[in-house]
Amino acid sequence: MVKILIADDHNMMINGLKLILAVRPDFNIIATANNGLEALEVVKNDRPDVILLDINMPMMNGYQTLQILKSDFPEVKVIVLSMSAERKSVLNMLEAGANSYLFKNTDDKTLFQAIDEVVKGRYFVSTEIEDVLEEFLTKDRFNLKKQSQKVLSTREIEIVKLITDGNTNGEIADILFLSVRTVDTHRKNILYKLGLNNTASLVRYAIENKIFLGLD
């Protein structure tokens, strides 16, 4: 069952999405929100798997909400729903951590496909902006290979230390009071950011760069 949160300031849009998603018995709409602050509160308490996120919302817009989501709840997948096809807007949302970007006039089948794809850890965008996604992925891969350990957050560095100490995902989850799934997401993000392929290469990297990582 995929737990879904709809965040949009237009109730007609929310009601329409509810009707569309109700067709799939494996989709469970756990809550709705009319602004970013409400959305973050729901995520904190109920931990949805996927958020359908509008960009233009009062109090806290979609871009600001997305930044906090990806910092504090990296395991939650975000599908941005917008009428804007502006290249910069799409890139900004992808760079902030969006897993998908769809136009609000997208059809039911495409919406279902987007949800299925992001749950599997993949990116998905409307056909008209697939070239923007490719630009983002190419740019992202290049930049991440050039970046140093400074790309890691404090939490990620903490997890690297625990990994190098030989702790499993389950043990790290217990130590940091996180879910195993969240730890696994952090581990994957760390490997991706550092351009590494597996835990063994991560341990070697950490040993070689322990001073810079603050592991000494």
Check if the beta carbon of residue 7 is closer than 8 Å to that of residue 39: yes
CA R_g for the chain: 18
The CATH number given to 2-141 is: 3.40.50.2300
Domain boundaries of the chain, sorted by first residue:
2-141, 147-213
Residue 203 has what pLDDT? Answer: 86
**147-213: in CATH 1.10.10.10:** yes
- In whole angstroms, what separates CA 176 from the centre of its chain? 20
Sheet strands side by side (includes 77-82):
27-33, 2-7, 50-54, 77-82, 100-103, 124-125
Residue 135 is predicted with a pLDDT of 86
Tens-of-pLDDT digits for all 216 residues of the chain?
A: 999 999 999 999 999 999 999 999 999 999 999 999 999 999 999 999 999 999 999 989 999 999 999 888 888 999 999 998 888 899 989 988 999 999 999 999 999 999 999 999 899 999 999 999 988 888 755 554 444 444 678 888 899 999 988 899 999 999 999 999 999 999 988 888 787 878 888 888 887 776 455 555
pLDDT, one tens digit per residue, over 21-53 is 999 999 999 999 999 999 999 999 999 999 999
pLDDT in tens, 186-214: 998 888 878 787 888 888 888 777 645 55
